[in-house]
Structures are given as structure tokens and as C-alpha cells.
Amino acid sequence: MADTPDVHSEAYNEPNPSSLLGFAKGFGLTFETMFRKVYTQQYPFDFYPTQPRYHGRHVLNRHPDGLEKCIGCELCAWACPADAIYVEGGDNTDEERYSPGERYAQVYQINYLRCIFCGLCVEACPTRSLTMSNEYELAGDNRQDLIYTKEQLMAPLLPGMEAPPHPMRLGSDEQAYYTVRSQEPFSQGEPQSTANVAGKPLTTRAIEVGGHHG
């Protein structure tokens, strides 16, 4: 049986130099911190920008004539590891056209209760419809509000854009929409509004239509 130390002995109660040093170090750090400049961000009264490549909420972008870049292919939904995206494709017709080509997204939802902002959906998108903005104010007091609909995710209409449905304006077939020239994103001036069609405010980065980052 191991010897039990005698807690009443003189040797036991003598201060241990190594633990005294530990105390001094610990309190030294406390004192040092007390005299440092306090750095407090007054959020939400002051809004602090993120790094440019911050992965915030998504944006569904438009072509320069206002047609939607999303073709309802569901590749983003398949790529999503959190099963956060729901897409239902629909057929464009000559009378009712939302995107160039055959299909468009009739229903598009992102569930921000599930999204982990990994950006894999953006990588998977073949038309560069889906990008991520720097918008980080994603909080709500109920679950329903955090399932964003297509109307909330669509980029606002810029000057020169026309709200779909409408015919293809950039050419007679969809190929015209995928040339470098047709996708010049910043030549259209300021957006008409800093809110999207659902009235959700967007930060400057979120309205940089075509400003892709993965």
C-alpha cells in the first residue's frame, strides 16, 4: 500500500516553488489583459464586412437580359452533403420562358437549418447560376423562415434586365448566353434596389451578380 502523505506535517504545508511560479504566471496574464485595449464590435449596431471569399447565403444569378441562369438540373441538390437544396424543374415554352434552353427551376429552396456553407453546390452548378454572397445575417425565430425560396434567393434585376417570363433577348438560341461577351457582369450600373424580389435586404457583395467564389 502506498504511503499516505501526512497533511499536518510541516514539509507538506511548505509552499511549493513550482506551484508559486504557476500562480504568478496565471495572474500575470490576467493583469496584462486588464491593461490591454478592449476590442468590442458593436454588432448589430455596426456592421462589419467579411473577407471577400466568405461563404454566406446563396444567390441565384441572372443573365444580362434578366432571364434566370438556373436550368433546374438539380446538380447542386445532388452535390449537397447536407441535403439542404430542393429543386423541381419545369419546362420553358415559347410563351412562358424563364431561362434560355429547355428547363428552368420551378421550385428552388435552400434550407439554412441544414446548410453548412461548404460551397459544393456552387462547384457543381454548370451554368454558374448559383454563387455565394457575404450575407451572414441568417437567423430566425422559427424554422420555416430559414427555408429560403427561389424568390428570396434570386438576384435583383439590374438596369437593362427584364423580369421573366420573356423571350431570349441575347440571341436566337441558348448558345448565345454562354459566350464571354454575353456574361459581362459589371457593365450594367447600380442595381435598382438593394433588396431582392422577396424584399430581403442584400449586402453589396450579394448583389454583385456574377461575382463567383467557391
Please, which residue, 73 or 158, has the CB nearer to ligand SF4? 73
Shortest separation between residue 177's beta carbon and ligand SF4, angstroms: 12
Taking the complex as a whole, the smallest distance from the CB of residue 110 to ligand SF4 amounts, in Å, to: 5
CA pseudo-torsion sign 198, 199, 203, 209: positive
- Closer to ligand SF4 at the Cβ: 22 or 81? 81
Label residues 42-61 b or e (16+ Cβ within 10 Å = b): eeeeeeeeeeeeebbbbbbb
Of 61-120, binders to ligand SF4 (CB under 6 A) are 70-76, 79-80, 82, 84-85, 87, 105, 110, 115-120
3-class DSSP state of 111? strand
- Omega before 191 within 30 of 0, i.e. cis: no
**Contacts of ligand SF4 in 19-38 (CB under 6 A):** none
Assess 166 for contact with ligand SF4 (CB under 6 A).
no
Nearest distance, CB of residue 132 and ligand SF4, angstroms: 7
DSSP string, 114-147: T-----HHHHH-TTS-EEE-S------SSSGGGE
Binding site for ligand SF4 (CB under 6 A): 70-76, 79-80, 82, 84-85, 87, 105, 110, 115-121, 124-125, 127, 129-130
